[in-house]
Chain A
Amino acid sequence: MSAELALAAAVETVMQNGDVTEAPFLEADAAAAIAVGLSALAAGYAERGIGAAAIGAIAEDDDLFVPGLIMTVLPETLVIFAIVVVFLV
């Protein structure tokens, strides 16, 4: 019952003032930081497999060093896109 009352009070505040006075769950900066962190984690996981395969290929044939390196860092683009978010918020 009290929750409903609180909700009604909150709605009233919004309707009267046009904005919310309570602090949001996450500040925008913190949300962006989490986004970057998660994408870096995902990129790292993706690079794990590619890196292992690339090292295997380089061990067999030295010429594959450059292609291997490029393939390995491709998932890094994930992090770059995530950093864009930092500038957007």
Chain B
Amino acid sequence: MSQGASNTEYVSARVRARRAALFADEDYRKLVRMGPSGIARFMEESEYEREINELGARFSGVDLIEHALNRNLAKHFGDLLEWSEGRLYDLIARYLRKFDVWNVKTIIRGIYTETPAEEIQTDLIRAGELDDATLDRLLEVDAIEDVVEILDGTVYHDPLEAAYEQFEETGALVPLENALDREFYEHLLDNLGRPQEGPEAKYVEFLQAEIDFLNARNALRLARSGADLDPASYYIAGGVLFDQQDLNRLVTDLDELVDHIAENKRYGKRLSGALGQLREADSLIQFEHALDAALLEYSDTLSSIYPVSVSSVLSYILAKEREIENIRAIARGREVGLSESEIEEELVIL
């Protein structure tokens, strides 16, 4: 853990300015009516100008948009880590490690499917704590075993090594990916304790919400698919909504699971609309979007309770991720010829 004073004021001021530069609802409405090249042109006149210009010669259409989005995300989140100091750095880095997980997963998947390194390279989001040199070394290897070896010294080494044995037995990537996810989420709340008030209490509350929503999402998917999978291996500790017994019991019965979420004091009211929809329409995608929106709204409230704190940074991170996902959904949707209203359903807008 890094020591020393944090520069919360500086980081929040910069983050607020960047937050203001995110696309507004009207922009999305415009984007939905454009084709991929139109979207790229629109992005060129906004925040994404540099990325689009840099990549414009190498890619076109949806690929250009996708790579520009990834690179922009990496730039912004890399900036966050560069600016912040002390305790604040620690809190931000903790959350941004999810991109490390994403990168390692992408590399493992790439090796598994024998994709050439250049193609994997473009899918990486260099926003996490693993430095460029490590990622480049990871790209060069062509056995998953070597990946585990290179990660020696990081938090991912031990769980990956344990999961590797399972991988060798079954030949499926699931144990490796699960190990990475669990490692990330279980370290998220390390040494934070249970602060009762102040910005850090809100930070913990938000992370708990994220874990809870993830558990809820997994449980719903399991309940819906009816697959004979062991729910315990998907359970992530640290949330307040489920404990492991709850989850084991609830995945067998979808209605009871929905009731369990609705009865929770913290989330019941916030998710009531989405839960109603889930009961009636049986639409899992809608519910998952509602969860995303609820998380975004949650982080927004947190950032207005303590304007100068880590929560405002977190809220920016979330909003930015959402923007990237929305633009990607629009571009991909237009590419495959979805109608405007179908695309709008895919977007997460507050």
Interface residues of A (CB under 8 A from B): 49-50, 52-57, 59-61
Is residue B18 contacting chain A, with contact meaning CB distance below 8 A? yes
Measured between beta carbons, the chain A residues less than 8 angstroms from B146 are none
- Closest approach, in angstroms, between the C-beta of B279 and any C-beta of chain A? 45
Q: Which chain A residues border B9 with CB–CB below 8 Å?
A: 49-50, 52-53, 56
Please, which residues of chain A bring their CB within 8 A of the CB of B18? Answer: 60
Instruction: Report the minimal beta-carbon distance from A32 to chain B, rounded to whole angstroms.
Output: 32
**Chain A residues, Cβ within 8 Å of B17:** 56-57, 60-61
Residues of B within 8 A of A (CB): 7, 9-14, 16-18, 83, 308
**Distance (Å) between the CB of B5 and the closest chain A CB?**
10
Complex Cα distance A50/B11, Å?
Answer: 12
Assembly CA distance A56 to B18 (angstroms):
11
* Residue among B9, B10, B13, B16 having the largest count of chain A Cβ atoms under 10 Å: B13
Least CB distance, B25 to chain A, in whole angstroms: 22
Q: Main SS of the interface on chain A?
A: helix
Secondary structure of the B contact surface, majority rule: helix
Contacts of A54 in B (CB 8 A): 13
Nearest-CB residue, chain B, relative to A68: B13
The answer to whether B14 and A52 have CB atoms under 8 Å apart is: no
CB <8 Å contact, A57 and B7: no
Interchain CA distance A55-B13 in the complex, whole Å: 8
CB contacts (< 8 Å) of A57 on chain B: these are 13-14, 16-17
Using CB atoms, name the residue of chain A closest to B16. A57
CA of A10 to CA of B9 in the docked complex: distance in angstroms?
55
Q: Are A60 and B14 in contact (CB under 8 A)?
A: yes
Supply 20 A–B pairs (Cβ within 8 Å), ascending by A. A49-B9, A52-B7, A52-B9, A52-B10, A53-B10, A55-B10, A55-B13, A56-B9, A56-B10, A56-B11, A56-B13, A56-B17, A56-B83, A57-B13, A57-B17, A59-B14, A60-B14, A60-B17, A60-B18, A61-B17
| Distance from A51 Cβ to chain B, minimum over Cβ atoms (Å) | 8
Closest Cβ–Cβ distance, residue A45 to chain B (whole Å)? 12
A49 contacts which chain B residues (CB < 8 A)?
Answer: 9, 308
**Interchain nearest-CB distance for A60 vs B (Å):** 4
Q: How far is the CA of A89 from the CA of B13 in the complex (A)?
A: 42
Residues of A within 8 A of B83 (CB): 56
> B12 to chain A: which residues have CB within 8 Å?
53, 56
Q: Cβ of B308: which chain A residues have Cβ within 8 Å of it?
A: 49, 53
A60 / chain B contacts, CB cutoff of 8 Å: 13-14, 17-18
Cα distance, A55 to B10, chains bound together (Å): 7
Instruction: Provide the bound-state CA to CA distance between A52 and B12, in Å.
Output: 10
Q: Find chain A residues with CB under 8 A from B11 CB.
A: 56
Contacts of B16 in A (CB 8 A): 57
Most buried by B among A50, A56, A57, A59: A56
In the A-B complex, list the 4 residue pairs whose CB atoms are closest, starting with the nearest. A56-B13, A60-B17, A53-B13, A52-B9
Give the distance to chain A from B199, nearest Cβ to Cβ, in Å. Answer: 14
Closest residue of chain B to A50 (Cβ to Cβ) is B9
Q: How many angstroms from the CA of A54 to the CA of B11 in the assembled complex? A: 10
Measured CA separation A49–B11 after assembly (Å): 11
Looking at A53, A54, A57, the one whose CB has the most chain B CB atoms below 10 A away is A53
Chain A proximity of B50: nearest CB distance (Å):
15
> Which chain A residues border B7 with CB–CB below 8 Å?
52
